[in-house]
């Protein structure tokens, strides 16, 4: 019996990946297929109406979209700094300097940047609608609003996730492994929506 216990004690510890993290990665894989379908629809519609695309894309404010894109990309960096804080088990700031910020501060900054991005998209939508580009106006309008609109919904979902992580961080008495994993998983999702938007920006605004 003692030899068995000794064997068990000396056995190597297997660090298995978090089921939550693995499940999130698998789910994001399905989201990749979803957005791949949207990209295919966009390219298909554009190939059938190149003249329409040339006319309608002239209404796009590329400079504004670029600034909005940079804001979203920057939020991905701040979210990653929040992950670093979660990995060192630091839920909140220990000082005013950003190097002393915790998960709450970095994630709240990411939330603000994401909210600015969505607000920017709403402002862009209002301008395009005023210029006659609507969801039901033509194939370009349908392709533009469906692709960017679904992405905006995903960003909004990420904003809700940020708030949930921040609220959970305040609610627990002791910040632990589960809370850290939640922050890391949310960062996976946020990086994903950032990468998808970079692809959308290049296709819609640069390769117009």
Integer Cα distance of 44 and 34 in angstroms: 16
Distances (CA, A) of 6 to 1, 14, 89, 165: 9, 17, 33, 41
Say if 2 falls within a structural domain: no
3-class DSSP state for residue 110? helix
- pLDDT tens digits for 176-202? 888 999 999 999 999 999 999 999 999
Structural domain count, the chain: 1
Is 90 domain-assigned? yes
Q: Has residue 83 been placed in a domain?
A: yes
Query: What is the CATH number for 70?
Result: 1.20.120.80
pLDDT digits (tens, 9 = 90+) for 41-67: 999 999 999 899 999 999 999 999 999
How high is the pLDDT of residue 21?
Answer: 67
Please indicate, yes or no, if residue 181 is contained in any of the structural domains: yes
pLDDT digits (tens, 9 = 90+) for 95-149: 898 889 999 999 999 999 999 999 999 999 999 999 999 999 899 999 999 999 9
pLDDT at residue 5 greater than cutoff 90: no
Q: Identify whether 115 is part of a domain.
A: yes
Asked, for residue 10, whether it belongs to a domain, the answer is: no
Domain extent, residue 77, equals 19-206
Residue 178 lies in a domain: yes
pLDDT at 160: 97
User: Residue holding tokens 């995903």?
Assistant: 154
d(CA 63, CA 53): 19
Q: What is the pLDDT of residue 207?
A: 86
**Residues 148, 200: contact at Cβ < 8 Å?**
yes
Q: How many C-beta atoms lie closer than 10 Å to residue 10's C-beta?
A: 7
Is residue 9 in some structural domain?
no
User: Picking from 21-25, 32-36, 117-121, which range would have the lowest pLDDT averaged per residue?
Assistant: 21-25
């Amino acid at each position: 019996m003692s030899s068995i216990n000794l064997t068990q004690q000396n056995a190597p510890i297997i660090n298995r990946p978090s089921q939550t993290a693995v499940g999130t990665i698998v789910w994001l894989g399905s989201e990749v297929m979803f957005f791949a379908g949207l990209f295919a629809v966009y390219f298909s519609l554009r190939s059938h109406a190149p003249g329409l695309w040339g006319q309608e894309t002239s209404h796009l404010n590329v400079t504004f979209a670029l600034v909005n894109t940079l804001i979203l990309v920057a939020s991905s960096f701040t979210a990653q700094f929040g992950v670093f804080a979660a990995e060192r088990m630091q839920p909140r700031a220990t000082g005013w300097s950003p190097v002393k910020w915790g998960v709450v501060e970095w994630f709240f900054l990411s939330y603000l940047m994401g909210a600015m991005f969505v607000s920017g998209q709403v402002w862009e939508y209002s301008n395009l609608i005023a210029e006659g580009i609507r969801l039901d106006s033509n194939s370009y309008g349908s392709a533009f609003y469906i692709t960017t609109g679904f992405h905006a919904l995903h960003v909004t979902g990420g904003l809700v996730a940020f708030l949930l992580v921040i609220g959970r961080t305040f609610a627990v008495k002791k910040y632990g492994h589960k809370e850290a994993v939640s922050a890391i998983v949310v960062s996976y999702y946020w990086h994903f929506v950032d990468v998808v938007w970079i692809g959308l920006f290049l296709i819609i605004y640069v390769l117009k």
